[in-house]
Amino acid sequence: MNITLEKYHGLGNDYLIFDPNKNECRLTKENIRLICDRNFGVGSDGLLVGPILGQDKLEVKILNPDGSEAELSGNGVRIFGKYLKDAGYVQKNKFVISTLSGEQTIQYLNEEGTRIKVSMGKLSFYSDEIPVTGPRREVLNETMLFGSIPYRVTCVNIGNPHCVIWLNDISKDLVCRIGKHSENAEYFPERINTQLLKVLDRTNIEIEIYERGAGYTLASGTSGCAAAGAAYRMGLTDPKMYVHMPGGVLEVEIKDDYSVLMTGEVGYVGRFTLSHEFAEQVKALQ
């Protein structure tokens, strides 16, 4: 049986859909790494496995390109919502997707399903919920050392953990240099995603992103929500804002209870049927 993957992107953050109802290959960390490799494989920022059908639920597993499983991906959830529409799994304009972090509500904002709003759950700044080592506290504007350099950070969980660093000047090079240290820093027992935050005005922020298990990425939905939440919590922005990333712009709205709504675009790239030779390499790593 052929192995067929569908490729989508959310603002340049690209994922491959592996539909277990249409493929019979067992996924492992080894063959996930091969599939996602941009030189020897198809290439992507991760793999979305689903829909996993059962008990009236539409479940998706979100896998990083290193083979580890992510609790949540904002771009991944939007992409998966678009795939469910394209593949005929859903006909409603509003429905629920189950992820490792819980349930996310998806709403199509246009007929094509390319513009999607997602209820992302609630932000938490508490150390034991992120998690961050040390006594229970809100991790707000604390000093942490990454590569022996001190930074003022605010940490937050939005289904997965984030470390937000507010700076006047941000860049890809800088977030990569910091992220290589922060991702596996001793403060974070489950590793962490890192964002450099630049506040443009009360309704616009700019971020650079280094993702846990993936490295530098052009865009990230949960990173956008986390950075927006940190900026609002520190009093730097209004509750509704535009998050500017190298791949594009997300709209984020933070409610009074710190629940978050995220709106963004999804693009379809195409269908990839693996060659017999490459499929055999993938299957050999089961």
Annotated binding site for substrate: 13, 64, 74-75, 160, 193, 211-212, 221-222
195 vs 209: CA distance, rounded Å:
5
Q: For residue 18, what are the β-bridge partners?
A: 49
SS3 content of the chain, % helix, strand, coil (to 5): 20, 40, 40
Give the residue ranges of the annotated binding site: 13, 64, 74-75, 160, 193, 211-212, 221-222
Angstrom distance (rounded) from CA 13 to CA 211: 11
Nearest CA to 117 among 275, 261, 258? 261
Burial class of 51 by CB neighbour count within 10 A (0 to 12, 13 to 18, 19+): buried
Nearest residue to 176 via CA among 212, 125, 216: 216
55: CB partners within 8 A, 6+ apart: none
CA distance 31 to 138: 39
Q: DSSP states of 205-258 as a string?
A: EEEEEEETTTEEES--HHHHHHHHHHHHHTTSS-SEEEEEETTEEEEEEE-TTS
